[in-house]
Amino acid sequence: EAGVAQSPRYKIIEKRQSVAFWCNPISGHATLYWYQQILGQGPKLLIQFQNNGVVDDSQLPKDRFSAERLKGVDSTLKIQPAKLEDSAVYLCASSRLGNSYNEQFFGPGTRLTVL
């Protein structure tokens, strides 16, 4: 079974530019998560999708961040315009949908550096 795929793996941009990250979850996983991991900190949930609907985006800075999951499969996370403090690793994870615990599987992440 293929794991969670993310691209690009690395991205360097200047502040005020825009950037987009892509995630392809494990086949059959209805739930998809985007986390932000700033250097030296634990991951923080940005947004959670169930199929193509948003379950939780309470910690997404909506003035500059946006995310979509068209057709309930792949997802894109965008930052526009980027700030220096957006430098981080962006992790995508996916899990099955159910009424009990479902393990989250993580992709390798995209490391963003904003100069």
Partner 1 sequence: AQSVTQLDSQVPVFEEAPVELRCNYSSSVSVYLFWYVQYPNQGLQLLLKYLSGSTLVKGINGFEAEFNKSQTSFHLRKPSVHISDTAEYFCAVSDRTEAAGNKLTFGGGTRVLVKP
Positions touching partner 1 (CB under 8 A) are 4, 31, 33, 40-45, 48, 50, 55-56, 91, 93, 95, 97, 99-104, 106-109, 111
Rounded least distance, CB 33 to partner 1, Å: 7
Rounded least distance, CB 80 to partner 1, Å: 25
72 versus 108: smaller Cβ distance to partner 1: 108
Distance from C-alpha of 106 to C-alpha of 44, rounded to nearest angstrom? 13
Rounded least distance, CB 30 to partner 1, Å: 9
The pair of structure tokens assigned to 42 is: 């634990």
Residues facing residue 94 across a β-bridge: 32, 105
Note if the bond before 43 is cis, omega within 30 degrees. no
78 versus 111: smaller Cβ distance to partner 1: 111
Are 47 and 56 spatial neighbours (Cβ–Cβ below 8 Å)?
yes
